[in-house]
Amino acid sequence: MIKDRRYHENGYEFIEELLPPEVISSFLSIMQINMGADRASQRRFLSEPGIALLPTQSYELPSAYFPFSLGLLWGLTARMEVVTKTKLLPSYAHGRIYPKGATCVVHNDRAANEHSLNLTLGFSDNTIWDFCVGQERIAENYLDNKDAYQDFGERPFDRIQMNAGDAVAYQGQHYYHGRIDPNPNAWSAHLFLGWVDRDGPQKDHAFDKFELPPPAKFFF
């Protein structure tokens, strides 16, 4: 288990108990309430078969249906600025619940994930499922190659173990990552958050290119 990596030197940083157990448990409960209390309701969020990164179907929870995820994304921006030592703007938030036996193939992220946070929300059986990050930075001229792999092959990588509330901040666009072992739990829930440099080359991906609402006005 690796916990001592540093963000700029090694591409990622482990953050223990980013959110306390009471907060993370309540967040996951609210997410489940919004999905529905029975199998039929929850299956509305089941992914399409054959998604490249996910050999097994999962529940996909975009922030369009779970706007409270955006609140967490925006609220954690200052914390991520401390980790990355960079002025940031949020790009997107997306939840996922994996079933037993699922994997997530090794890949690198799109431009909106210039700076990423993988937050563990919970495991049904309290069995940690390793998140893996490569040790080698992807060359700039290879960033747009979106190949995915079943494992890291000969490339060196680290295994990171997270409990509920723990997180890993990582340079999602520049380092390969994934979950190469089958999920040992009946389900496991995770939240993926992304930011871009405020003045960097990916700044146009801020807020995931969505048009922002007009400035607020209040009247008495």
Give residue-wise pLDDT tens across range 182-195. 999 999 999 999 99
Average pLDDT on 170-175 reads 94
Residue 177 in tokens: 């990552």
The rounded percent of the chain whose pLDDT value lies above 90 is 79
Averaged pLDDT, 205-210: 87
The pLDDT > 70 percentage for the chain reads 96
pLDDT > 80? residue 2: no
| Domain count within the chain | 1
Residue 220 lies in a domain: no
In a domain, 219, yes or no: no
The reply to whether 23 falls in a domain is yes
Q: Pinpoint the alpha helices (H) of 15-99.
A: 21-35, 39-42, 68-75, 77-84
- Average the pLDDT over 163-188 and give the result: 96
- 105: closest CA among 155, 55, 58? 55
Which domain, by its residues, includes 67? Answer: 7-209
pLDDT attached to residue 1:
47
- Segment 49-98, tens digit of pLDDT: 767 678 899 999 999 899 999 999 999 999 999 999 999 999 999 999 99
Residue 69 lies in a domain: yes
pLDDT at position 134: 95
The answer as to whether 214 is a domain residue is no
Banded model confidence at residue 19, pLDDT cuts 50, 70, 90: very high
Residue 87 falls inside a structural domain: yes
CATH number where 25 lies: 2.60.120.620
* The pLDDT value given to residue 69: 96
Residue 195 in any domain: the answer is yes
Quote the mean pLDDT of the chain: 92
In sequence order, the β-bridge partners of residue 179 are 104
Whether 216 is in a domain gets the answer no
Q: How would you list the strands of the sheet with 88-99, edge to edge?
A: 12-15, 167-170, 115-123, 187-197, 88-99, 59-62
pLDDT at residue 149, as a whole number: 85
pLDDT of residue 3: 57
